[in-house]
């Protein structure tokens, strides 16, 4: 599901720097590649470089 801007729950968690929620969403299959209406991925919306790196690493380890 997305909001009117095309944001998924993961987009919003990243934008609000909600680390635990973002990690939980990724662990349960949320896509890091899906783009919103502004063509931004959840990773593009991460406030911190650290969270972005953690999510990429987490996704890689889940494969």
Question: Would you state the structure tokens that stand for residue 34, as one six-digit string?
Answer: 């899906």
- What pLDDT is recorded for position 4? 98
Q: State the average pLDDT for the chain.
A: 97
User: How many whole angstroms separate alpha carbon 50 and alpha carbon 1?
Assistant: 26
**CATH number of the structural domain spanning residue 32:** 1.25.40.20
pLDDT, position 46: 97
Is 35's pLDDT higher than 90? yes
Global confidence as pTM: 0.93
What total of structural domains would you count in the chain?
1
Share of the chain above pLDDT 90, in %: 98
In a domain, 4, yes or no: no
The fraction of the chain above a pLDDT of 70, given in percent, is 100
How far apart CA 51 and CA 40 sit, in angstroms, is 16
Contact 46, 55 (CB under 8 A): yes
């Amino acid at each position: 599901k997305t909001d009117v801007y095309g944001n998924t729950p993961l987009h919003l968690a990243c934008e609000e720097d909600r680390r635990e929620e973002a990690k939980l969403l990724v662990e349960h299959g949320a896509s890091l590649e899906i783009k919103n209406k502004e063509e931004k991925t959840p990773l593009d919306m991460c406030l911190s470089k650290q969270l972005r790196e953690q999510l990429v690493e987490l996704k890689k380890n889940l494969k």
